[in-house]
C-alpha cells in the first residue's frame, strides 16, 4: 500500500515528530511504500491564492505533485498538535490547497456547491494522531472535541475515506518519558492494525 504521512509541528524535537518517525518506521517494517511531508520543515506555503481557487486552475509543479500523491494514496496519516481546537494553520492551508475540488472531492453535475459532494480519494483508511494538553474530560465538556468532527466528517468523510481513526495523546506537557514511550508503542500498534504487514 502507498501511505502518505503529513506532519505539522514546528519543533523538530517535539513528540509529534517522534510519532511521525514511529509511523514511518512501522510502515517500513510492514513493507508498505510511504512518503512523508514535514510541512514546517518544507516551509509549505499554506496560503490559497485566488489563481488556484477554481477547479482545474493551473497549479505550481510542487503543488500538482502533492495533489497527485494524495490521489494515489491508499492510506493517509496526519500528525499534529491541538491548537485552539484545530490543526496548526499550516496544515489547514495544506487541506485548502491539496484536498481541492477535482482532487479530493467533486460536486455533482448541476450542483453549484450547495449540496453534498462526491469523495474522490482512493484512500480507504485515514488515521490522525494529535497531542493535546486539556484533559479528556475538559475537552469533552468544555470544547466538545472539534478535532474529531473536523477530521471525521468535514475532511475525510467528505473526501470519501470510509474508515477513520483518531488517537489523542494527553496531557503532553506533563507527560513522563515512560508515558511517551508507551504512547509510541500505541502508535505502532494502531498503524499495524490499520496497515498490517504485507504477506
User: Which residues lie closer than 8 Å to 106 by C-beta, 6 or more apart?
Assistant: 55, 117, 118, 120
Q: What's the whole-model pTM score?
A: 0.93
Cis peptide bond upstream of 171, omega within 30: yes
Residue 199 domain-assigned? no
- How many whole angstroms separate alpha carbon 37 and alpha carbon 110? 36
Asked if residue 96 belongs to a domain, the reply is yes
29 is a domain residue: yes
Contacts of 72 (CB under 8 A, 6+ apart): 2, 122
- Structural domain includes residue 180: yes
| Phi, psi for 6 (deg, rounded to 5) | -115, 120
In degrees, rounded to 5, the angle at the alpha carbon of residue 166 between the alpha carbons of residues 77 and 81 is: 75
Task: Give CA–CA dist 112/148, Å, rounded.
Answer: 27
CATH number at residue 71: 3.40.50.360
Domain count, the chain: 1
User: Which domain range does residue 83 map to?
Assistant: 2-194
Q: Tens of pLDDT along the chain (199 residues)? A: 999 999 999 999 999 999 999 999 999 999 999 999 999 999 999 999 999 999 999 999 999 999 999 999 999 999 999 999 899 999 999 999 999 999 999 988 777 667 778 999 999 999 999 999 866 676 666 677 889 999 999 999 999 999 999 999 999 999 999 999 999 999 999 999 999 988 7
Q: Residue 40 domain-assigned?
A: yes
Say if 140 falls within a structural domain. Answer: yes
- For 93-105, letters b (16+ CB in 10 Å) and e give bbbebbbbbebbb
Amino acid at each position: 500500500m502507498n501511505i502518505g504521512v503529513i506532519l505539522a509541528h514546528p519543533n523538530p524535537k517535539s513528540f509529534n515528530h517522534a510519532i511521525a518517525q514511529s509511523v514511518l518506521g512501522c510502515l517500513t517494517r510492514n513493507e508498505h511504500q510511504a512518503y512523508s511531508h514535514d510541512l514546517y520543515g518544507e516551509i509549505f506555503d499554506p496560503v490559497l491564492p485566488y489563481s488556484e481557487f477554481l477547479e482545474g486552475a493551473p497549479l505550481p509543479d510542487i503543488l500538482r505533485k502533492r495533489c497527485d500523491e494524495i490521489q494515489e494514496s491508499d492510506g493517509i496519516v496526519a500528525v499534529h498538535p491541538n491548537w485552539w481546537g484545530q490543526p496548526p494553520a499550516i496544515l489547514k492551508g495544506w487541506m485548502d490547497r491539496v484536498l481541492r475540488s477535482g482532487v479530493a472531492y467533486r460536486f455533482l453535475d448541476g450542483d453549484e456547491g450547495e449540496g453534498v459532494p462526491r469523495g474522490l480519494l482512493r484512500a480507504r483508511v485515514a488515521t490522525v494522531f494529535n497531542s493535546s494538553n486539556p484533559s479528556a474530560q475538559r475537552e469533552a465538556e468544555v470544547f466538545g472535541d472539534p478535532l474529531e468532527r473536523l477530521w471525521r466528517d468535514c475532511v475525510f468523510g467528505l473526501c470519501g475515506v470510509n474508515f477513520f481513526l483518531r488517537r489523542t495523546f494527553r496531557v503532553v506537557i506533563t507527560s513522563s518519558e515512560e508515558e511517551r514511550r508507551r504512547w509510541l508503542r500505541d502508535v505502532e500498534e494502531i498503524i499495524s492494525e490499520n496497515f498490517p504487514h504485507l504477506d
